[in-house]
Structure 1
Amino acid sequence: MITLQRILFLCLLSLSSSAQNYHYYFGNIHSHSSYSDGNKDKASSHAATPADDYRFAKRSQHLDFLGISEHNHSQAGMQRANFSRGLADADAQNEDGRFVAMYGMEFGVISNGGHVVIYGMDKLIGWEQNNYDIFSAKSDYKSLFRILADHSGAFATLAHPAQTDYNHLITTDYDPVADRAVCGVAVSSGPAFSVKTDYSDRPPMSYLSYYKRLLSLGYMVGPTMDHDNHNTTFGRISHNRTVVLARSLSRDSIMAAYRAGRFYASEDWDTEVDFKINGLTMGGYVSGQEVLKISLKVHDPDGDDRTKSIKLLYGKPGSGVIPKVMKTSKDSDVLEWQQSLQPGDAFYYYAEIVQADGDRIYTAPIWAKYN
């Protein structure tokens, strides 16, 4: 089900990633300022603009990057001129090497098809008269995905997905254009309207089954965790983070990591996961190799956050069958496994890690095909 174009793209990325030493960066790319419907507490927080919010986020713990993804329509407060102002605020507050500020949009309306978080576009996508730069109808996700797939710098993740969202994406045939446009899906999100800033308001894992279903259909996506902040709580609602593997703490490098699928979803705010197959890290594509050497190592700087279990899961892309557990390691920070493939075999592999305190971590997959 995976397109040749997508395979070639991943193979090129995999060749480059095998020689790279990546760093771990922790952040969130789903949040809002008063330019749409965020900063609802601005009367007390005195934060309203994206610039205010980036300054707040820089003081949050274990937060290397923040993306503000403004709603793209006036019903939620967005005006076309403010999108340009938000991009300028992100540029002004971005500090490569210290903190990455990103600005994007959240396309769509929940009651008409769902929300898509988008970055890498310097023009507002929308449907309202005089309130967009690029037109895409409100509920036409095929059009939206085509726009994103044709824009080389763009990437998108699916926010808090419902079963019927995105023109019934998970109950219709695999769409190669959507696969090129979308790199991730939230496995947990929010609580969107939380006012807590003590890192204690942990959301449920509501969308894990959606992620597994996309993988089974052949989509090459990874898992994210987002806060969807609507108050001035950036980075402080919970310990949940999306963790990216990037060459440097810079906007270009963080965005490249998302596009390449080098990220994972973590309920712990500083756990580092090294997951590789034949030397390629998550998001990679192993092609033409009969024997797969799978290794996973967990490192948590907090001495009391030990690993309770690691599960290696696998599935066949395009089969429609939900992934299954291949190997389990208990009370160890390491899992190693070797698998031999038969000609024509194609699988994806990812890990579920559970810590002793109950925190869960889900990696993006690594894909492999022996041909």
Structure 2
Amino acid sequence: MKTSSTLPPLVWPCCVAVAAASFFHFSVAAAAAVTALPAAPAQHEHQEFEATLSAPYHGEQRGLDARTFTLSFDYPGLRARRGVHWRLELVAPNGRLVARWQGRATLNGRPLDVPVRWQGKLGSRPPVPGVYKVRLRAASGSEEVEQSWDIAVGNPAAPALPAFAPLPGRRGVLQAAPAPGALPYTVYYGNLHSQTSHSDGGAALDACKGAQDPQTAPFGPDAAFPYAREHGLDMLMVSEHNHMFDGSDGTNAGADPDAAKALYRSGLETARAFSEQHRDFLALYGMEWGVISNGGHLNIFNSDELLGWEKNGKGELLADTLSPRNDYGALYTLMRKQGWIGQFNHPSAKDQFKVNGVPLAYTADGDEAMALCEVMNTSAFSTNDREGETRRSNFEAACNKLLEAGYHVAFSSNQDNHCANWGASYTNRTAVLIPNGEPLNRDSFVAALKARRVFATMDKDAQIVLSANGHLMGERFENRGPLQLSVQFANGAGRQAATVAIMEGVPGRNGTVTQLTDAATATIVPKPGPHFYYAKLTQDDGRVLWSAPVWVEQAADES
């Protein structure tokens, strides 16, 4: 069956296995109109619409740009059929929309892949070479997802990059010792988002079909930490859902508060003991706070207290410390007071992390407490253990909104593993820079997060560093006169940079982050006032790296 197109005749519609759709008005009303059969009421924390886009970076043959995009849709825990309305767009380097595909599909309780074939031409002509954007918008009922990835069309010229003495890694991925002139840091790669049997993760790969009923799976933190270490990670964060320590996805009226708190303490002790026994690995244990519905998930990395809002039938709090559900303003205040550091997990720009009804709302306490924003994740329910997962989600747009709101967050890239493949579903990592000579432990890790010395990478063998007038990414500084920005990159497996971009925004403006340049170096004189800049680099295999931003307060010229 064919999809429909509303662009001029030079754009040819593509054949895919979905029902024909009329003109795609992307709105909640239109999406709801095609959802003829409603889903069952939400049963689990992760029962939400999922949509990912796989867009091969290169064409299938040298000199030919044809390729197949794959749209993956799922609704974990679905008990009735549910309609999906989708639109896929191809955007040229100049921002012009040059092709569109659209259609409908039906979910029936199993993941669904929809292939979309592009022959590599616009009408009968080959496209102008460059870096294009493929953008998916999908809706199911009132839930909407937008995803986008860059692709190479033709043979765009590779960027020139400044010389870079790579940072040493614990496992000597790039080199065993600091090179002359290298930055005085060691880089550690980890996965800072995963679950075990202490909440709704930890299922064996051959039995893992999504989130588990809380505390029913066989594998806990004592299995996760050695698994991650054996698979080459330097760090693993086990981030259990804070409201599942009562053994339920709802509220267990018969739960024992002492048992819930003891389970949390046991996870902390397991992490501490494993780190002490294996000085080459950092085991972290904490919580993923919040719920998806009208909420949003965030990790708290260094709390020795279990936070919660649920009470049993006797009115006893099933946690150490009360933190009201969905009250993010109060949570940020508590986190700042206690010195706890957090990460926005898979953020949605639509309705998450509300304060006074405003999504992604800025607070000064939140700015101090929240250090990271997940820019990219692999599928939370992947059973891949060979780093080959193709379902990957991009959250750069929501992270940019947080930056524009005024948050000082660095990018992270994690896996949200719910199956027993902690860190092994894909090659993506969060990389943390620790001063040379300092041990890797929770204190040095938290200090690095507070300094935002972090980058996100889809390639565990790669590094990216952004500097500005000698200041390292993550820093905040005042500047007068010219500002020189420089992007440095290295890859221990021989991959090269295909494209690079320096992005620019204004904290507190609540506007749009834009591309400053497609070069690896730039010298500019910013307008007086606050600015932030970060680097985004795509390798020749399509894997992307994001630096942490630098934040610059530009002084007015007194001349």
- TM-score interval (norm. to shorter): 0.7 to 0.9
Q: Distance in 2 between matches of 1:277 and 1:218?
A: 19
Larger radius of gyration: 2
* 1:166 is the counterpart of 2:360: no
Q: CA deviation at 1:316?
A: 1.5
Q: 2:189 aligns with which of 26, 36, 44?
A: 26
Q: CA deviation at 1:291?
A: 2.5
Q: Distance in 1 between matches of 2:306 and 2:360?
A: 28
Alignment length, in residue pairs?
Answer: 344
Tell me the residue number matched to 1:121.
Answer: 303
What is the SS of the residue equivalent to 1:110? coil
Q: CA deviation at 1:160?
A: 1.4
Cα deviation digits, residues 9-51 of structure 1 (max 9, x gap): xxxxxxxxxx971111111111111111111228979962212
* 1:211 is the counterpart of 2:395: no
Q: CA deviation at 1:345?
A: 2.7
* 1:306 is the counterpart of 2:496: yes
Q: CA deviation at 1:76?
A: 4.1
Q: Distance in 1 between matches of 2:406 and 2:295?
A: 21
* 1:232 is the counterpart of 2:420: yes
* 1:56 is the counterpart of 2:227: yes
Q: CA deviation at 1:189?
A: 2.2
1:120-199 aligned at under 5 Å gives the runs: 120-129=302-311, 130-152=317-339, 154-162=340-348, 163-167=350-354, 171=359, 174-199=362-387
Contact 1:26 1:270 in 2 (8 A): no
* 1:326 is the counterpart of 2:516: yes
Q: TM-score, normalised by structure 1?
A: 0.87
Cα deviation digits, residues 214-255 of structure 1 (max 9, x gap): 111211111111111111101100001111111243322122
Q: 1:81 aligns with which of 262, 268, 274?
A: 262
Q: 2:548 aligns with which of 342, 352, 364?
A: 364
Cα deviation digits, residues 101-147 of structure 1 (max 9, x gap): 01110111112411111111101010122311110111211111111
Q: Distance in 2 between matches of 1:300 and 1:189?
A: 21
Contact 1:170 1:213 in 2 (8 A): no
Tell me the residue number matched to 2:283.
Answer: 101
Q: CA deviation at 1:210?
A: 0.1
Go from structure 1 to structure 2 and tell me whether the alpha carbon gap of 1:42 and 1:84 turns closer, same or farther (over 3 Å shift). farther
What is the SS of the residue equivalent to 1:94? helix
Tell me the residue number matched to 2:56.
Answer: none
Q: CA deviation at 1:172?
A: 6.7
Q: CA deviation at 1:293?
A: 2.0
Q: Distance in 2 between matches of 1:109 and 1:80?
A: 19
1:316 partner amino acid:
V
Contact 1:306 1:355 in 2 (8 A): yes
Contact 1:188 1:225 in 2 (8 A): yes
Q: Distance in 2 between matches of 1:83 and 1:109?
A: 18
Contact 1:42 1:48 in 2 (8 A): no
Higher mean displacement: 103-112 or 161-170: 161-170
Go from structure 1 to structure 2 and tell me whether the alpha carbon gap of 1:37 and 1:272 turns closer, same or farther (over 3 Å shift). same
2:343 partner amino acid:
T
What is the SS of the residue equivalent to 2:489? strand
Go from structure 1 to structure 2 and tell me whether the alpha carbon gap of 1:172 and 1:253 turns closer, same or farther (over 3 Å shift). closer
What is the SS of the residue equivalent to 2:446? helix
Q: Distance in 2 between matches of 1:93 and 1:22?
A: 24
Give ranges in structure 1 of 5+ residues lacking alignment.
Answer: 1-18, 330-334
Go from structure 1 to structure 2 and tell me whether the alpha carbon gap of 1:105 and 1:173 turns closer, same or farther (over 3 Å shift). closer
Q: 1:70 aligns with which of 228, 231, 240?
A: 240
1:117 partner amino acid:
N
Greater helix share, 1 or 2? 1
Go from structure 1 to structure 2 and tell me whether the alpha carbon gap of 1:365 and 1:309 turns closer, same or farther (over 3 Å shift). same
What is the SS of the residue equivalent to 1:201? coil
Give ranges in structure 2 of 5+ residues lacking alignment.
Answer: 1-181, 209-216, 251-258, 312-316
Go from structure 1 to structure 2 and tell me whether the alpha carbon gap of 1:146 and 1:197 turns closer, same or farther (over 3 Å shift). same
Q: Distance in 1 between matches of 2:358 and 2:471?
A: 28
Q: Distance in 2 between matches of 1:222 and 1:321?
A: 18
Go from structure 1 to structure 2 and tell me whether the alpha carbon gap of 1:173 and 1:252 turns closer, same or farther (over 3 Å shift). closer
Q: Distance in 1 between matches of 2:360 and 2:522?
A: 34
Contact 2:353 2:360 in 1 (8 A): no
Q: CA deviation at 1:289?
A: 3.3
Higher mean displacement: 171-180 or 127-136: 171-180
* 1:241 is the counterpart of 2:423: no
Tell me the residue number matched to 1:200.
Answer: 388
Cα deviation digits, residues 153-183 of structure 1 (max 9, x gap): x111111122211126864753212211211
Q: Distance in 2 between matches of 1:118 and 1:65?
A: 15
